[in-house]
Structure 1
Amino acid sequence: MAGERDLQQLLGGMRPVLNPGRYVYCTLPAKVPAGLRPVVMVAEAEGPTIVVAQEEADALGLRYEYVAGWITLQIHSALEAVGLTAAVATCLAEHGISCNVVAGFHHDHLFVAADDADRAVAALQELSAANRA
């Protein structure tokens, strides 16, 4: 199934959902420890960066500085869609909320400071409502 490309349709139908839990960004010197279940992994020259549930990081004694809420935009966005990330980031910036975006094949995922997560969802719901036809 092809993802949505039309920006107004993407914004109007994004249906942001706050996933349960708190998530942290960790960097590792080498490979991901066995049994660790990252929700995101990025290979960087300095070592892998992972986003993982805070409880898992704490259980393994992993260091982190940023604790995030994880918001999933429920619309199936096309990877080549133009403007969704910019519109979402602009909306959140206008509310003083930082945002780290990860594109999956089916959905876009936003990591915002845990204390800002509910406000972020509310702001995105307003943006979505303003773009419904």
Structure 2
Amino acid sequence: MSAERDLTRLLAGMRPELRPGRYVFTTVDGPAPAGLAPVVTVAETEGLTMVVRQEDADAASLAYDYVAGWITLRVHSALDAVGLTAAVAGALAEAGLSCNVVAGFHHDHLFVEHARAEEALGVLTALARRF
């Protein structure tokens, strides 16, 4: 299946899915600690940012201050598609929800405040139904 670029089809077909678990953003100097399996990594000048399961961060004694729920937009979005991130972030912002977006090759992944993850899922589902 080819990646979608049309914004209306992206929004109508996003099929948001809340993944189980609690995820945290943490950072280390150098590579990820042995045995740790980050779901996202970003190499920054200040260190390696990782998104990991909260229990894995706790086991590795890694510091964090934000606990997130992970929502995947199941639509296969093209990396050069225009407007999906803005529409999703705008709908969540209107509901007072923060959102950290990571684009994968096939899907977009949203990390939202864990305590409000179900609410965020509802906002996204309602957004998709409008299209």
The TM tier, using the shorter chain, reads over 0.9
Give the structure 1 partner of residue 22 of structure 2: 22
Name stretches of at least 5 consecutive residues in structure 1 with no aligned partner: none
CA RMSD of aligned residues (A): 0.6
What does 1:1-12 correspond to in 2, within 5 Å? 1-12=1-12
Give, in angstroms, the shift of residue 105 of structure 1. 0.2
Alpha-carbon distance in structure 2 between the residues aligned to 1:2 and 1:117: 29
Identical pairs, percent: 64
- Structure 1's consecutive aligned runs of 4 or more residues displaced over 3 angstroms after TM superposition are none
* Deviations 1:15-38 (CA, angstroms, capped at 9, x unpaired): 000000000000102210111000
Give the structure 2 partner of residue 118 of structure 1: 118
* Deviations 1:67-116 (CA, angstroms, capped at 9, x unpaired): 00000000000000000000000000000000000000000000000011
Alpha-carbon distance in structure 2 between the residues aligned to 1:27 and 1:60: 12
Letter in 2 for 1:71: I
Task: Tell me the TM-score normalised to structure 2 length.
Answer: 0.99
Please state which structure has a larger fraction of its residues in strand. 2
Task: Tell me the TM-score normalised to structure 1 length.
Answer: 0.97
Name stretches of at least 5 consecutive residues in structure 2 with no aligned partner: none
Alpha-carbon distance in structure 2 between the residues aligned to 1:70 and 1:79: 19
